[in-house]
Chains A and B, each alone.
Chain A
Amino acid sequence: MLNYLLFIALPYAALAVFIIGSIFRYRFMGFKVSSLSSQFLEGKNLFWGSQPFHWGMFFLFFGHLTAFLIPRAVIAWNGDPLRLIILEVTGFAFGLSALLGILLLIFRRLTNKRLQMVTNYMDVVVYIVLLVQITSGLWVAFFNRWGSSWFASTLTPYLRSIFSFDPQVDAVSMMPLSVQIHIVSAFSIIAIIPFTRFVHFLVYPVDYLWRRYQQVIWNWDRKDIRASRKHVYGERTKNN
C-alpha cells in the first residue's frame, strides 16, 4: 500500500503540481520567477559554495537523464570495467562537490545576518530536501554498487512505466531503503519546484546563446503607424 502511495501516487501528484504550478507561476506571477541571488549581500563564501554545488548538480542531472533516455548505451559503456570505474568515480566526485557546496551554502546562510534577512521558509525546505537528495545519492553510489549499471536495468523501466501511464512498482519496492529515499525525495523536489526558488533552473537562459546582443522593442510598428488599416479594432500589436 505504502509502495503504491510513494511510487505511483506521489510521482503523478508531483508531476501534475510541477507542470500546472510552473506554468501558472511563469504565466501569472512573472515577477516572482527569479534565481534570488544573494551574491550582492555576500559574495566571497558564495563562490566556494555556489560553484561546486551548481556544477555538481548540473552534471549529475544530465547523468541521470542519460541513463533514463539511453540505458542501453550506458550498459554498453559499462561493459568494460575501467570505463565503469571512470563513470562511477566521476559521478561520485560531482556528488561530493555538490554536497560540499550545499554544506557551505547552508553554513553561509546560518552565519550571515544579512542573508537571514532574505531567507524565507521555503528556502529552508529547499536546503533540507537537497541535503537528503545528495546524501542519499552518495550513500547509494557508495554502498549499492554499481549504480550506473543497475539504474539502467531496473529504475529506467520503472521511470518509463510512470511516463507511459502504466506504472510498475515491483522493481522499486524491492530496492534498498536508501534508493527508495532517493526516489521519494527526487519526486518531492519536482513537486515543490513551483513553490520555491527552484523555478530558476526552468528559466536557464539558453536562448541567450543565439539571441542578438542588442534588443530594441517598439511599442508599435513605427513604419505602419500611419497606415490606417492598422487601426482596425481587434488587431492588437504585441508589446514585445
Chain B
Amino acid sequence: MDIRSQVSMVFHLDKCIGCHTCSIACKNIWTDRKGAEYMWWNNVETKPGTGYPTKWEDQEIYKGGWEKNGDSVSLKGAGKLKGLKNIFHNPNMPSLEDYYEPWAYRYTDLFEAPEGDDQPIGRAVSLITGEPIEIQAGPNWDDDLSGTPDYARQDVNFKHLSKAEQESMFQLERMTFHYLPRICNHCLNPACVGSCPSGALYKRGEDGVVLINQERCRAWRMCVTACPYKKSYYNWNTGKSEKCVLCYPRLESGQAPACMHSCVGRIRYLGVMLYDADRIEAVASCDEAELIDRQMEIYLDPFDPAVIKAAKENGISDSTIVAAQNSPVYKFVKKWRIALPLHPEFRTIPNLFYVLPLLPAMASVSEDGVYDSLSENLLSGVEKLRVPIRYLSSLFAAGNDNKIIEVFKRLHAVRVSRRDTTVKDVTETQLNKVMSEANMDIHEANEIFRLTSLATFEERFVVPAAHREEAIEMLENTGDVKGNTGFGFKMKPERGL
C-alpha cells in the first residue's frame, strides 16, 4: 500500500446556473495574456452540446486518453513510438479553429469615427493578427442552445443513444439541458504526463496537482492531444503548453482556487482524498463496466486505523489526514455515493466528480402539460425520465446505466425526505419506499441536504495545510530566497530569443 493524498473536487450540477463567473475568475488571474487569450482553463458548457474545443469528447478525432492493452493501458494517440514518430507534425492535435479565434473590439472607433448619419461601431479584431475578423465561434458559443441542429445534435454522446431517444431530447416540451463546468481533472493516471516526450509534465507528490514545467516544455504538443478532456493548451506566443494549475499558490496558502472561491451557485467542493498509488495501473486497465467501482475502491477510508497508520508511514502529515476526514469530496463520492467522474472510459482516473443533475430528469411533463415533480413511480421506470439515462451514463458512467439510476434514487430520496420535512405532503409509505429503495436513512438524507445547500465556506473547501514552512526549510536556505520575486515568470514571456 502506497498511500498518497490528492486534492480533488466535486461539482454539484443541479446547482450550476451557467453564469461563467468561475471562467472569468480564472481568466483574470491566469490566462489574460498574449498567447493565452483563447485558453479557458475553466469553462462551462451546455449539455447536450459540442463543447469547447468543438467535440472534445470524440476520441476518434483527437485520440486522447488511454486504451486498454492487456493488463495495462497504452496511450491512444501518443506514447513512445507513436509520439516520437509524429513529433514533426502531430496529426490529432486540435488547431485554433477547433477552439476559436480570440478577438477584442476596436473601441476607439466609437470615439474617433467622423461625424456621419450612421452609428459608429467597434469592429471585432483578431487578438492574433490584429485584423478585423468575422466572429465564428467563442468558448461558450453553444450556451443554452439545447435542441439546435448545429450544436446539440452534434453532441458526441448521442452515438450511444437510439434514434427515438435522441428525438425525445429535441421535442420542444421535453427538451432539457444542464451545464457542465470543467477544469483539469488532475488525474491519478494523467495521459498528458505520460505523453510528454521532454518530461516537462509531472504530478506533484504532496497534493497531486498536475503541472507543466515551463522551462522543460519544448512545444512537442503531445499533451494537447493526449489529454482526453483537452485541458492542456498550447500557448502560440511563448511556444510552451499550459494548463490549469488548480491555483496552487492559493492552495498552498490555504485559499480555495479562484474558480471555486468565486462560484456564485456554490456548486463546488474541494477536499483531500487518500488513495493507494499501487492500484493505479490495475484500476486504469480494468473492464469498462467496472471502471467506476474500481475507481471508488482506490480511494481509502481516512477513518480506518490501518489506513491512517500506513499514511503516516508514507510521510503524510497529520493535518492532511484530518483534512481527508473532513473532506466534502470524500462524503459525496465515497460515503454518499452521489458523485461520479466525467468520462471514466478515458481511463485517466479523473479526480473531479459531478453530482448528477436530477432536475431535468425529474421534471417530466404529462399529457396535460403539468410538471410531474413528485409521484410514487417517478423513478420506477427509466423511460419516464425527461433525460434519457443513457445520455447521462455516456457522460458519467462509461455507459453503465445502473450507476446513474443508483445516484438518481439517492438524490430523489433526499428530495422526498426534505419535502416531507418542509411541505409535509408525503405519505409515510411513500417516504419509506423511496428511502429503502435508495438504501438511505433520514439522518443521512439530512446530512446530504446540509452539505448541499447550507454548507459554509469552510465546509465546502477543506484545503490541507501545505506545510510550506517545512518545504522551504528543506528546499532552500531561507536567507538565499529573501527578496526574491517568488512566483511567476522569471523571464519575459516572448517567443524565441
> Which residue numbers of A lie inside 8 Å of B, CB to CB?
25, 29-43, 46-47, 50-51, 53-55, 113-114, 116-118, 120, 122-123, 195-197, 200, 203, 205, 207-209, 211, 213-226, 230-231, 233-234, 236-237, 239-240
B205 and A217 within 8 A (CB):
yes
Q: Give 26 A-B contacts (CB < 8 Å), ordered by A residue.
A: A29-B497, A35-B220, A36-B495, A37-B220, A40-B236, A41-B95, A51-B88, A53-B88, A54-B88, A55-B88, A114-B96, A117-B128, A117-B129, A120-B495, A205-B87, A214-B190, A214-B280, A215-B201, A215-B203, A218-B204, A218-B206, A219-B206, A220-B475, A222-B206, A236-B474, A240-B213
Which of B18-26, B41-49, B192-200 is found at the contact surface with chain A? B192-200
B475 and A237 within 8 A (CB):
yes
Instruction: Check: B423 CB closer than 8 A to any chain A CB.
Output: no
Residues of chain A with a CB closer than 8 A to B495's CB: 36, 118, 120
Mark out the residues of chain B between 221 and 241 whose CB falls within 8 Å of any chain A CB in the assembled complex. 221, 224, 234, 236-240
A213 and B194 within 8 A (CB):
yes
Instruction: Check: B219 CB closer than 8 A to any chain A CB.
Output: yes
Residues of chain A with a CB closer than 8 A to B490's CB: 31
A207 and B199 within 8 A (CB):
yes
Q: In the complex, A122 Cα to B496 Cα: how many Å?
A: 9
A216 and B203 within 8 A (CB):
yes
Instruction: Check: B164 CB closer than 8 A to any chain A CB.
Output: no
B122 CB to closest chain A CB (Å) equals 21
Q: Which of A25, A51, A220, A237 has the most CB of B within 10 A?
A: A220
Q: In the complex, A230 Cα to B216 Cα: how many Å?
A: 28
Q: In the complex, A239 Cα to B477 Cα: how many Å?
A: 13
A41 and B236 within 8 A (CB):
yes
Instruction: Check: B306 CB closer than 8 A to any chain A CB.
Output: no
B88 and A50 within 8 A (CB):
yes
A215 and B199 within 8 A (CB):
yes
A216 and B199 within 8 A (CB):
no
Q: In the complex, A38 Cα to B90 Cα: how many Å?
A: 11
The 8 closest A-B pairs by CB, nearest first: A222-B315, A30-B215, A205-B197, A218-B205, A213-B194, A34-B239, A220-B474, A36-B239
Instruction: Check: B93 CB closer than 8 A to any chain A CB.
Output: yes
Q: How many A-B residue pairs have CB under 8 A?
A: 178
Q: Using A30-B216, A215-B193, A218-B205 as known contacts, list a sample of 14 further A-B pairs with CB atoms less than 8 Å apart, ordered by residue number in A.
A: A32-B491, A36-B239, A37-B239, A40-B93, A41-B95, A54-B88, A114-B129, A117-B129, A195-B497, A215-B202, A216-B205, A219-B474, A223-B315, A240-B213
Contacts A31-B215, A42-B95; A214 near B203 (Cβ below 8 A): yes
> Which residue numbers of B lie inside 8 Å of A, CB to CB?
75, 80, 83-84, 87-91, 93, 95-96, 128-131, 189-190, 193-194, 196-199, 201-206, 213-221, 224, 234, 236-240, 280, 313-317, 470-471, 473-477, 489-491, 493-497
Instruction: Determine the residue in chain A with the shortest Cβ distance to B466.
Output: A219
Instruction: Determine the residue in chain A with the shortest Cβ distance to B280.
Output: A214
Residues of chain A with a CB closer than 8 A to B221's CB: 37, 39-40
A44 CB to closest chain B CB (Å) equals 9
Q: Which of B198, B313, B316, B470 has the most CB of A within 10 A?
A: B198
Q: In the complex, A113 Cα to B125 Cα: how many Å?
A: 13
Instruction: Determine the residue in chain B with the shortest Cβ distance to A29.
Output: B491
Return the contact of B96 from the options A40, A113, A222 (Cβ within 8 A).
Answer: A40
Q: In the complex, A223 Cα to B2 Cα: how many Å?
A: 11
Q: In the complex, A232 Cα to B236 Cα: how many Å?
A: 44
Residues of chain B with a CB closer than 8 A to A226's CB: 315
Q: Which of B131, B215, B473 has the most CB of A within 10 A?
A: B215
Residues of chain B with a CB closer than 8 A to A221's CB: 315
B319 CB to closest chain A CB (Å) equals 12
B128 and A114 within 8 A (CB):
yes
Residues of chain A with a CB closer than 8 A to B474's CB: 219-220, 225, 230-231, 236-237
A222 and B475 within 8 A (CB):
no
Q: Which of B89, B91, B473 has the most CB of A within 10 A?
A: B89
Residues of chain A with a CB closer than 8 A to B491's CB: 29, 31-32
Instruction: Determine the residue in chain B with the shortest Cβ distance to A43.
Output: B95
Contacts A40-B221, A118-B236, A196-B496; A31 near B214 (Cβ below 8 A): yes
Residues of chain A with a CB closer than 8 A to B315's CB: 221-226
Q: In the complex, A34 Cα to B315 Cα: how many Å?
A: 37
Q: In the complex, A17 Cα to B496 Cα: how many Å?
A: 18
Residues of chain B with a CB closer than 8 A to A205's CB: 84, 87, 197-199, 218, 220
A97 CB to closest chain B CB (Å) equals 12
Return the contact of B93 from the options A39, A53, A114, A217 (Cβ within 8 A).
Answer: A39
Instruction: Determine the residue in chain A with the shortest Cβ distance to B317.
Output: A225
Return the contact of A219 from the options B80, B199, B471, B477 (Cβ within 8 A).
Answer: B471
B95 and A40 within 8 A (CB):
yes
Q: In the complex, A165 Cα to B91 Cα: how many Å?
A: 46
Contacts A41-B95, A120-B496; A113 near B220 (Cβ below 8 A): no
Q: In the complex, A46 Cα to B219 Cα: how many Å?
A: 15
A208 and B197 within 8 A (CB):
yes
B198 and A203 within 8 A (CB):
yes
Residues of chain A with a CB closer than 8 A to B218's CB: 33-35, 200, 203, 205
Residues of chain B with a CB closer than 8 A to A34's CB: 217-219, 238-240, 496
Return the contact of A213 from the options B96, B128, B193 (Cβ within 8 A).
Answer: B193
